[in-house]
Amino acid sequence: MTDCIFCKIAQGIIPVTFVHQDEKVVAFKDLNPQAPIHVLVVSRVHIPALTVPEASDPKVLGAIFNVIRQLAVSLRLEHGFRVVANCGPEGGQSVPHLHFHLLGGRQMNWPPG
């Protein structure tokens, strides 16, 4: 999608620090980190949110969660981490392209804000 920030990042048009790239998924450091490690794990295909039917594609979700699992190891998050998907306006989603936040490197609290 031409106007989507994350599509532009996945295509290399907007520069970011990638920590993973494959044919289905890219992962890069969040611009506004909320933890010592804060990575966004993003589908290459443009899916606006978890709420749309395309987001149930097991190939896409499986690829994303496999990358999350790999990153948890490579980023040495063996003591724990948090995976967050903000969804829709009340969920705090600001970029309408399917993505998961991988946060770690500090104690996480509950409830979240």
The residues that touch ligand DGP, with contacts defined as CB under 6 A, are 5, 14, 16, 28-32, 40, 86, 92-95
> HSE (CB half, 13 Å, CA atoms) of 22?
10
- Smallest gap from Cβ 86 to ligand DGP, in A, equals 3
Please give the Cα distance from 75 to 54 (Å, whole number): 29
Q: Considering beta carbons, is residue 40 or 77 the nearer one to ligand DGP?
A: 40
Residue type, 30: D
Minimum CB distance to ligand DGP smaller for 57 or for 95: 95
Q: What residues are labeled active site?
A: 99
In the bound state with ligand DGP, the residue whose beta carbon lies nearer, of 27 and 63, is: 27
Please say whether the beta carbons of 9 and 42 come within 8 A: yes
Could you tell me the smallest distance in angstroms from the CB atom of residue 56 to ligand DGP?
19
